[in-house]
Structure formats: structure tokens, C-alpha cells
Structure 1
């Protein structure tokens, strides 16, 4: 199972998870604080600045001594002023950098709770979410999708919204399931059963509803796979002329039933491909978002 991001989360944040997953925090954790070099390691940052200032001052004094001995006084004065200016600007830039927030930390802080991590779900919710993610991935990476044969379904808009909605409900189911387990620990009483009974039934109804949604995604993915298979078969059929030429060159007086069959297969395949595409579209339209 992979993390789930809200549709509006920038792509660079999604790529950031691949490079630095340790920055991301679970949904029930507090929002990360603004983090700079000063807040993360003030002692180390201050020590580094002192070393830098010492190097700048020492280098400037050494350069001043050398220039005073080798250059005219006026020239040495102007160069020393220029070097001092460069050192001050460089030091200012370093100070500003130490006060700036790391881009990765800022992205995670700003987008907190607009993504859900695998640890945000229990086993039951994780299993359903994994199925939904695999189905969505199958559809979005399918050849028929990339070629625009299912454009009227608007997969790029509908499926991320569906996945995020499913993930949010599964997260809430995870939280409520854990709360029920905590409350149910210890001695069972009639009062406790009276409270937990309706809650458990409501949770079970929610789980069934989400399972039906995931089943719809699975069926849609199956239809898309079938359309993809028909599309690959059509691509393979385009080599039919080469096989005909091969037979003509090697078996000029041989059995012609294979050659005649190519035309029949082509017609049948076109019908199959059309039916597969239409079936995929019909399955996809059941997932369409309301206007």
C-alpha cells in the first residue's frame, strides 16, 4: 500500500515522499513546526557562523597585510573595502539561509493532513485501500487510457477524487474501530452493549459501502484490462500482411485457410475491441463524480 494524496497536492510533494519519506507524519500527529537551522541545531549553527566570521576576519586581515606590502596605499585601501563588502554580503546570505525553512519540511507542514500514510490505516482498511490503489493504477496506466479512448470518463479527474474519498472514510473507520476496541476492553455490561451495538452496526454498514465502491473500481479495472488486451491483439494483427508474405514466399501452393482467416479475425477483433471499450466506458461512468 502506498500513501494517498488529496487531488490538489502538488506533484513535487508526491515526489518528495519517494526521496524523503521520513519527513511525512501520520494524520493523528500534530502539524510539524516550522524548522530552520537555528531551531533544529542552534548550537551547531551558531558555532558554524562564528567559524565563518573568524575565517572572514582573519582572511581580510591577512590580505590587508599582503596588499599593504605589495600595492600602493590607495589601491590597497579600495581592494580591502571591496573584500570587506563581499565578506559582509556572504555572511548576510549565510545568516538568511540559516533562518529560512527547509523546502521539504515546509511542504510537509503545509500539506499536513492532505495526505494519508500506510500507518494511518489498520489491516482491514489497508487491504481495501490497497485494492483501490491497484485498480486506479491499472486504469491510469492502461494503453487505452493513454491513447484517449476513455476520455469521456475523465479518469484523471474522477479516479484521484474517488481514491481520496475512499481513503478518508477508511481512515475514519480505522479510528472508530480502535476506539470501539478500547471501550470494549474490560467487563461487558448491558449499558455498554446498548451503546456499542448501534455503533458497530453503523461501522459495518460503512465498511460494506466502501467495499462496494472498491468492487466497482475492481470491475472497472477488469474492463480496462480487457480493452487493453483487445488493443494489443489489434496491434499484433497489424503484422498479418507480413505473415501472408511469409507464407507466400515459403509455401506458395500450401494451405490458404490461414491467410483467409486473417480477414475474419480482423473483423471479429474490431467488434471485440469496440465492445471492450464500450464496456470499460460504461463501468467508468458508474464512478463519475456528481455535477
Structure 2
């Protein structure tokens, strides 16, 4: 199972998860605070700045001594001024970096609540989300999708919305299941059952509803796979002329029924491909979100 992102989360944040997943904070935890070197480790930052200043000042003085002994006074003076300017600019950069929030931490903080991590789901919810993610991946990576044969279904818009909607519901189900277990732990009374009974039934109804949504995604992915298979078979038939030529060159007086079969198979396959594409479109339309 992979994390699920809201559709409006920038691609850069999604790629950031691949490189630095440790930055991301589960939805069940508070939004992370703004972090800089000063806020995380003020003592270390101050010590680093002191060391930097000591190196800059000491290096400048040493360079000044060497230049005074080896260069004309005017050249040494201008060179010392230039080195001081470089050191001043570099020190300013170090200071700015110590008080500016790292871009990765900032992105994670601003987008918190718009992504759900594997740890935001219990086992039951994780299995359903994994199924939904695999179905969406199948559809988006299919050849018929890449060639635009299913454009009217608007997969690029509908499927990420569906996946995010499913992820949010599954996360809430996970939270409520954990809450019910916590409340019911170690005791069982009529009063408690009177409260938890309706809650469990409501949760069960929600689980069944989300399972139906995932089943629809699976069905759509199956239709798309069938259409992809038919498309590949049609591509294979494009080599039919080469096989006909091969037979003509090696078996000029042979059985012609095989050659006739190519034409018949091509006609049948075109019909199969059309039916497969239409079936995939019909399945995709059932997933459209309400306006």
C-alpha cells in the first residue's frame, strides 16, 4: 500500500515522499510546527555560527598578513576588502539559512491533512485501499488510456478524486474501529452495548459501501485490461501480411484456409475491440463523481 494524496497536492510533494518519507506526519498526529535550525537546535546553531565567524575572521587576518608581505600595499588593500566582502556575504547566507525553514519541512507542514500514510490505516482499511490503488494504476497505465481511447471518462480527473475519497473514508473507519476497541476494552455492560451497537452497525454499513466502490474500481480495471488485450491482439494482426507472404514463398500450392482465416479473424477482432472499449467506457462512467 502506498500513501494517498489529495488531487490538488503538487507533484513535487509526491516526489518528496519518495526521497524523504521520514518528513511526512500521519493525519492522526498534530500538524508539524515550523522548523528552523534555531528552533530545533539553538545551541548547536549558535556554536556553528561562532565557529564560522572564527574561521572567517582568522582566515581573513592570515590572508592579510600573507598579502602584506608578498603584494604591493595597494593590491593587498583591495584584495583584503574583496575577501572581507565575500566573507560578509557568505556569513549572511549562513545566517539566513539558519532562520529559514527547510523547503521539505515546509511542504509537509503546509500539505498536512492532504495526504494519508500507510500508518493512517488499520489492516482491513489498508487491504481495501491497496486494491483501489492497484485498480487505479492499472487503468492509468493501460495502453487504451495512454492512446486516449477512454478520454471521455476523464480518468485523470475522476480516479484521483475517487482514490482520495476512498482513502478519507477508510482512514475515518480505522479511527472509529480503534476508538470502539478502546471504549469496549475490559468491560461489557448493557449501557455500553446500547451505545456501541448502533455505532458498530453504522460502521459496518459504511464498510460495505466502500467495498462496493472498490469493487466498481476493480471491475473497471478488468474491463480496461480486456480492452488492452484486444488492442495488443489487433497490433499482432498487423503482421498478417508478412505471414501470408511467408506462406506464399514457402508453400505456394498449400492450404489457403489459413490465409482466409486472417481476414476473418481481423473482422472478428475489430468487433471484439469495439465491444471491449465500449464496456470499459460504460464501467468508467459509473465511477463519475456527482457534479
Equivalent residue number for residue 151 of structure 1: 151
Equivalent residue number for residue 117 of structure 2: 117
Tell me the secondary structure at the aligned position of residue 290 of structure 1: coil
Residue correspondence of structure 1 range 1-291 to structure 2 within 5 A: 1-291=1-291
TM-score (norm 2): 0.97
1: distance between equivalents of 2:229 and 2:141? 13
Q: For residues 233-277 of structure 1, what are the alpha-carbon distances to aligned partners after superposition, in whole Å with 9 as ceiling and x for unaligned?
A: 000011111111111111111111111100000000000000000
2: distance between equivalents of 1:186 and 1:70? 85
Out of 75-84 and 168-177, give the one that drifted further.
75-84
Out of 2-11 and 27-36, give the one that drifted further.
27-36
1:82, distance to aligned residue in structure 2 (A): 1.9
Tell me the secondary structure at the aligned position of residue 33 of structure 1: coil
1:25, distance to aligned residue in structure 2 (A): 1.2
1:99, distance to aligned residue in structure 2 (A): 1.5
2: distance between equivalents of 1:262 and 1:117? 51
Out of 85-94 and 220-229, give the one that drifted further.
85-94
Aligned length: 291
2: distance between equivalents of 1:19 and 1:137? 21
1: distance between equivalents of 2:138 and 2:128? 16
Q: Unaligned 5+ residue runs, structure 1? A: none
2: distance between equivalents of 1:113 and 1:208? 25
1: distance between equivalents of 2:6 and 2:109? 15
Out of 143-152 and 178-187, give the one that drifted further.
178-187
CA RMSD, 1 decimal: 1.1
1: distance between equivalents of 2:71 and 2:19? 52
Q: For residues 32-84 of structure 1, what are the alpha-carbon distances to aligned partners after superposition, in whole Å with 9 as ceiling and x for unaligned?
A: 11112222333332222222211211121122222222333333222222221
1: distance between equivalents of 2:69 and 2:137? 72
